[in-house]
Amino acid sequence: MALMKKNSCYLRQDLAQAWADKPVFDAVANIDGEIFRDKEGRRTLRFELNDRSYFLKYHQGVGWTEIVKNLLQMRLPIISARNEWQAIHFLEKHGIETMTLAGYGEKGINPATLRSFVITDDLVNTMSLEYVGEQWQQRPPSFATKQALIRKLANMAGTMHKNGMNHRDFYLCHFLLDERFAEHNTFEDKTPVYLIDLHRATIRHKTPKRWQIKDLGSLYFSASRVPLTKRDKLRFMQIYSGLPLRTLLKEQADLWREVQHRAQRLLAE
């Protein structure tokens, strides 16, 4: 994927028309809406414009103190919304459902004062897979529904990792599906599941094993309340890897052992 140039900007036609007489970064910086986050140089909010609902993530510069703090903690600082829009492009390219871009941009050179934004369509009338465990404790799904959802998540994770992207926040709460699932409790292979919250995602030529482990361990941990059998887990592993079960257990035993250890550590915290 080609990197965007500095001081670049894209607006879909609906936003371009609405802000035709305004400097884009001024318009974005002054948007009012329902705020979900406003700290460390980043604002996340939902806003409405011409009867449409959008999500905005606006980065106004994190400052050198925040950058140095992250580096000292051996963490890659998030200084731009670029990660998010590049991850969306990546997922679209590889057939993984995610948010729909309405606009993005970046302005500046100094990493401490870099201004950037990403705007996506609001995924209205959706619910998080975080609640599936609770729901299935009371209302167990059909065999077909459970297997279809396992296939879906395993294919999403496998496709993402095989093509070089790791999410770094890969929990069930960052998968959304139609909120009517809470009523009908059924899922099919064609049912959309949207992967969100991509600001920490990293794209490389190949996903390092340690980041596979972190993503998969986080997903396994977040599914701790979902009633999964040993066969369910083996099915996920097989679909994710694309390997026959015998080969999988022989060649990837260390990977899946580390995934389980990470999930157990998270559960113990």
Residues taking part in catalysis: 169
**Residue 81, Cβ density class (10 Å: 0-12 exposed, 13-18 middle, ≥19 buried):** buried
CA 131/CA 124 separation, integer angstroms: 17
H/E element holding 149? helix 143-162
CA 19/CA 26 separation, integer angstroms: 10
Closest by CA to 27, choosing from 80, 99, 103, is: 103
Angle at 223 between CA 217 and CA 243, to 5 degrees: 60
Question: What SS3 state is found at 236?
Answer: helix
**DSSP, res 131:** G
CA 88/CA 103 separation, integer angstroms: 12
